[in-house]
Chains A and B, each alone.
Chain A
Amino acid sequence: MQPTTTATDGPGARRRARTFTGQLQNGDRIAHFTTFIFAAAIIVITVVLFYELYASSSLTREKFGWRFLTGATWDPVALEFGALPFIYGTLVTSILALIIGVPLGVGAAIFLAELAPVRMSAVLAFIIELLAAVPSVIYGLLAIFTLVPFLRDYIAPVLEGTLCFLPLFQGASYGFSLLAGGCILAIMILPFIISISREVLLAVPREQREASLALGATRWETAWHVAVPYARPGIIGSIFLALARALGETMAVTMVIGNAPRINLSLFAPGYSIAAAIANEFSEATSNMHVSALIELGFVLFCITILVNAVARLLILMTTRKGSAA
């Protein structure tokens, strides 16, 4: 269909066009307005969400104030609620996920973008992108029956044997632990890091690579010393994206983390993440204070996520300005 919209075009169109002409100007305005309404709906939803979380947690906010963030006791009987064990569990599992996932992910991205043959790279990247589509509950399902026994029976004894001087690896290993939570999160964030880093690396201008190779660098040296620094903001951005994802991940974590609201230095100990706590306790919180505490937990998680996103943007802004451009 051709975009013929002038008022004097075509026979049948003339009559319609005349009534339309006056409105042709407004047609744009109506379209602008309509799409704006829908875009505004997004803002409305987010604001209402924020407000809802803030308002419904008023009971515990008033009772505990900032102590909520530093308290380490979560006692629904004594109505004593402190979020520290959950914040600890969330942060520990997410950081562990990054420690495991970033080297693996960036390594794979470098391989796919710089070192591997082009067609192989495209196929493998496609497969890895599919990993991002696997639902969380399926990761959890598999983790219960494969990852947890594997960690408990093979990895933990090794870690305990070699690194037991570190408080990180002391104590009995139940399988269901912070370690399991961190591992499953690492697997879940891999596809994000890989696909975004790969895209960013591929976007590095050919001239940069060619110049490096022309000077006699090996492919690895080109990748590491030329392409990666150029793509660094994007790679860091992908890491933060992965972190934000890991922080909010619920199902897979709750199925393997052990669900114990205690702070324990050992990675073998069971722990609890904010999202897992909400999932487990929300529909059963028997007192209004308990419900308020859980919603405040959600609010804390929301704020942490906003913070991480903001830092990510800032970092990207800073490193882009510092000059990765040619």
Chain B
Amino acid sequence: MRVYQALLQAFAWASAVLVGAMALAVTFDVVARNLGWANTGWVVEVSEYSLPVATLLIAPWLLHRNQHVRLDVLIDSLPRRLALLLERCANLLGMAICAVFVWFGSLLIIDSARLGSMVVKTLSIPEWWQYLLVPVCFFLLAVEFARRLRA
């Protein structure tokens, strides 16, 4: 349990640091380009790729802290037992949805790696790199929903 929480926290911090690094890199890029230092077209691309990475990294931590936007006012206004029942349904569905993402996310990675698809812009990277975090983060999200079911 402690390891699990530390992992979520570490992912969240990684996301925060990534956002800061993006801001610095893009600023540096503008300055460098205008001073004619270097052609740093790759900075733009790296910051593009960073956006889903930062988003996926922090998603499990947000769920753990119940920060994802949701309509909880209706649930809050229902009688307690009914609310608990609905809450359980929502968590069960959430877990199932995340399981689908883990499974098909993995398939996507395997498929793309087998085909050797590349994304060719300024940088060329294997397409499957982009999706690596999908199964990892959705697995953590599924665990989080399961944890709520037990609580």
The judgment on whether A and B are partners is: no
